[in-house]
């Protein structure tokens, strides 16, 4: 049996969805999609042992920011990308900094 392997929690979740029914929820995993500075952001949270087993990743939060438009050289692309990445990194810091 061939098993696909990836280091990204987002990709692992998407690979799981390819083989699962659309109506099935992945136990122990929560995914939130949003936009920051116009860039798509996906946060995958592996909540417990079920999520760890399903995705093959340790418990925690995983962020993916799609900077595809960064390469299209749109107006203020670099500044927006820096703010998007910085904003997401800030959410990972403890409140006291």
| pLDDT tens readout for residues 22-54 | 434 788 988 888 999 989 998 888 899 999 988
Phi, psi of 57 (to 5 degrees): -130, 150
97, part of any domain:
no
pTM score: 0.67
What is the rounded distance in angstroms from the CA atom of residue 26 to the CA atom of residue 50? 9
- What pLDDT is stored for residue 19 in this prediction? 46
73, part of any domain:
yes
Phi, psi of 10 (to 5 degrees): -60, -45
The total number of structural domains in the chain stands at 1
Domain span at residue 88 reads: 9-92
Residues in the chain: 97
Q: CA 18 → CA 5, 7, 14, 81, distances in Å?
A: 14, 17, 6, 30
72, part of any domain:
yes
80, part of any domain:
yes
83 touches 49 (CB < 8 A): no
């Amino acid at each position: 049996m061939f098993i696909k392997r990836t280091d990204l929690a987002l990709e692992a979740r998407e690979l799981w969805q390819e083989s699962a029914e659309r109506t099935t929820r992945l136990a122990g995993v929560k995914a939130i999609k949003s936009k920051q500075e116009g860039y798509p952001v996906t946060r995958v949270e592996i909540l417990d042992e079920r999520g760890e087993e399903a995705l093959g990743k340790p418990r925690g939060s995983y962020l993916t920011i799609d900077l595809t438009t960064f390469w299209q050289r749109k107006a203020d692309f670099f500044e927006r990308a820096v703010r998007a990445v910085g904003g997401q990194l800030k959410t990972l810091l403890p409140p006291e900094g």
